Amino acid sequence: MSTSLINWFKFASPASFYPLAGRMVPWFAAATLLLAAAGLWVGLAVAPTDAQQGEGYRIIFVHVPASWMSMFIYCVMAFWAALGLSFNTRLSGMMTSALAPTGALFAFLSLWTGSLWGKPMWGAWWVWDARLTSQLILFFLYLGFIALQAAIDDPRRADKAGAILALVGVVNVPIIYFSVQWWNTLHQGASVSMTKAPSMAHTMLLGIRLMALAFWAYTITMALIRVRCIILERELTSEWVKKNAME
Amino acid sequence: MLSVSHLTCQRGERVLFRDLSFALPAGQWLQVAGANGAGKTSLLRILAGLSEPAAGQVTWNGQGLRKDRAAFHADLLYLGHQGALKEELTPLENLALSLGMEGFPPDEAKVTEALHRFGLQGREMLPARYLSAGQRRRVLLSRLLLRPAPLWILDEPFTALDVHAVATLCQLIENHLAAGGSAILTSHQTFSLPAGLSVTL
Amino acid sequence: MSGFLTPFRQAVRRDLLLAARHKTEVITALFFFVIVVNLLPLGIGPDADLLRKIAPGALWIGALLATLLGLQRLFAPDHQDGTLEQMALSPQSFTLLIAGKIMAHWLVSGLPVVLIAPLLGVQFDLPARSLGILTLSLLLGTPILSLIGAVGAALTLGVRGSGVLLSLLILPLYIPALIFGAGAVEADLAGLGFEGHLSLLGALLLACTVFAPWVTTVALRVALE
């Protein structure tokens, strides 16, 4: 028990995490490329044309995984935030800020592809559908987090303030989601729901899963690259950076 | 007793001081010396429990500062270099309200007496915005008379004070030390206090 | 019990006294609310049916913006002059002191909005029953705005461009209160029950009362470092 704890805290130190992250980046980058290629092949070539939606539906191979990831990344950020606040580990704050831009990107991607999909489906670029609206709010939450961190000069304070915001956000996300759904049923705004046809072809599901895994690997790759940049930026004056990382 | 071990303070990328250790027993005072920007205020803020050091720890009577905040704060009187005065309130109101928020029943007669001790007769009912820098500092220092606390942490208490006020403050600190209290202060002025400890950053 | 709440009462008393010395600030926020709500018909047109329909949303959004206005000054002046530091070092509970400050903020910026809302509702041709529900929803909802807003104000304390940043952080978090608050009146106008909305708003208020002052103090201690 105690030995495993010590090991974890060893890697929680930026000095030992930096080279480890460097070694992991190529593997995850390769996984991203392979999985994305497989996912796109299944999604664009193998999966059958949808009976009602024609070829336009194929955007879901980006849209659905992007939506999943945008929500999932926020939860991961909240996890690192909680860890950072309770154990005061420097790496946690760095991980939280390294994940945020990717999360925001996926939230934006999900909104964009949703709107592209919406035009042929609903005849409008934007529908006040409960999910689209919640996704938009999630995007705002990401922007708020990034803006707050960017506005604070002292990195330690930026980490802590960001962590508090991420935790407040993650508590609020379900409440917001629920309230938006409640609002949606009251107003009967979008009668077309985004729910997919109940019998989704097996290959479609496979394509979505492959793409989700690809996005996952992409997130990890980007987070590791960004964490390495943040570590260098913050520890520029420390001995180990001068000795090891600047060669 | 306040003890400090292996304290390191970092502001941004700059390390202000490293591996600082000392102990301040009851009845003693400590002067924190150092050039501008050496980290004197940062050290005082760490000692008051406002900021967290990058490394090392501070204990008060053997306990970490954040273990029992209420108990430590009851023993601590920290006067920063900001005035902690509301411009739109009179000195009397300022002191009475801050005492109230610290959990002491504000006694108007006592507050007036403290203000008089610092030569603020006739200024009790004047909104603080009309006071000079020295007078504001004296209002702040009046708090030393109003609330008992074994540990005083004073950031530049002599700034803007005239000779009389400096003498009053020195007298107060001496009495405080004689009663078994301890004090930590920074200053660029000259003043006369019995020999104390000192730390140079 | 009364002893436990002393710091809370002291902080409320102090901030109300300060507000009394700055009457213009209080009146400005209220006037802002009135004028924003009154601009909407000018932008949309005087169609009574349409106005009745948008009234709850319009008043609620006005209330959101009016609250934001005062939030920027909730902690900033105390931070600048060092009194916030003294509060953080008080032997009394910092959380209760902060809860008192939030309460005072609501009394000064939220309560006047609640009191004047029926008058503005009349301008939008709301029936008497809806006016009552609207006022009740604002009475339950505006404290939520102050409570959540305090967290944002603490996080952005002393930060570059804190005013705009505060809105960016806080407005998304206001959405549930807006939906349940404005929704209560709309549901009633549509002939559905409004009780569900108000009880959800009440639950939200309860949750915020318990957690927001605590989170605010954590954020303030970070800001004071």
The count of structural domains within chain A is 1
Q: Chain C residue with minimal CA distance to A145?
A: C169
Per-residue pLDDT, A90: 82
Print the domain residue range for C138.
6-224
For residue C184, what are its two tokens? 């209560």
A18 within some domain: no
Print the domain residue range for A175.
23-45+58-242
Contact call for residues A21 and A91 (beta carbons, < 8 A): no
Side chain identity, residue A153? D
C96 within some domain: yes
Q: How far apart are CA C185 and CA B196, in angstroms?
A: 70
Per-residue pLDDT, A189: 42
Hey, is the C-beta of A52 within 8 angstroms of any chain B C-beta? no
Per-residue pLDDT, A184: 77
Low-confidence stretches of chain A (pLDDT beneath 50):
1-4, 189-194, 196-198
Tens-digit pLDDT profile for residues C32-73: 999 999 999 999 888 888 998 899 999 999 999 999 988 988
Nearest chain A CA: its distance from C159 CA (Å) = 6
Per-residue pLDDT, A121: 77
Q: How far apart are CA B140 and CA B79, in angstroms?
A: 7
Per-residue pLDDT, A1: 38
Per-residue pLDDT, A100: 95
CB < 8 Å to C190, chain A: 186
Contact call for residues C63 and C135 (beta carbons, < 8 A): no
- What is the homologous superfamily of the domain B2-200 according to CATH? P-loop containing nucleotide triphosphate hydrolases (3.40.50.300)
For residue B72, CA distances in Å to A194, B64, B65, B90, C14 come to: 58, 9, 6, 29, 24
Contact flag C22-B93 (C-beta cutoff 8 Å): no
Answer with the residue of higher pLDDT: A44 or B177.
B177
A6 within some domain: no
Task: Report residue B182: phi and psi, to 5°.
Answer: -135, 155
Per-residue pLDDT, C88: 93
Query: Which residue of B8, B9, B11, B13 to mutate against A (max A Cβ within 10 Å)?
Result: B13
Per-residue pLDDT, C1: 41
Parallel, antiparallel or unpaired: strands B63-64 and B55-60:
antiparallel
A108 within some domain: yes
The count of structural domains within chain C is 1
Low-confidence stretches of chain C (pLDDT beneath 50):
1
What's the whole-number mean pLDDT along residues B63-81?
Answer: 88
Sign of CA dihedral B167, B172, B173, B175: positive
For residue B177, what are its two tokens? 């030390």
A103 within some domain: yes
Q: How far apart are CA A133 and CA A117, in angstroms?
A: 15
Identify which of A126, A128, A124 has the alpha carbon closest to the alpha carbon of residue A185: A128
Contact call for residues A106 and A66 (beta carbons, < 8 A): yes
Neighbour tally for C49: CB within 10 Å: 7
Q: How is residue B192 annotated by DSSP?
A: -
Task: Report residue B181: phi and psi, to 5°.
Answer: -85, 170
Identify which of B20, B1, B151 has the alpha carbon closest to the alpha carbon of residue B62: B1
C64 within some domain: yes
Per-residue pLDDT, A16: 82
Question: B44-71 burial, b if ≥16 CB within 10 A, otherwise e?
Answer: bbbbbbbbbbeebebbbeeeebeeebee
Name all chains with 3 or more CB-CB pairs below 8 Å to chain B.
Answer: A, C
Hey, is the C-beta of A115 within 8 angstroms of any chain C C-beta? no
Interface of C with A (CB under 8 A): 151, 155-156, 159-162, 165, 168-169, 171-173, 175-176, 179-180, 183, 186-187, 190, 192, 200, 204, 215, 218-219, 222-223, 225
For residue B153, CA distances in Å to A90, B31, B121, C184, C223 come to: 30, 10, 26, 54, 21
- Average per-residue pLDDT for chain B: 88
Contact flag A148-C169 (C-beta cutoff 8 Å): yes
Q: Where are the domains of chain B?
A: 2-200
Beta-carbon contacts of residue B125 (< 8 Å; ≥ 6 apart) = B90, B92
Determine which helix (DSSP H) or strand (DSSP E) holds C175, and give its type and residue range. helix C175-189
Per-residue pLDDT, B150: 92
Contact call for residues A165 and A228 (beta carbons, < 8 A): no
Q: How far apart are CA A94 and CA A105, in angstroms?
A: 18
A127 within some domain: yes
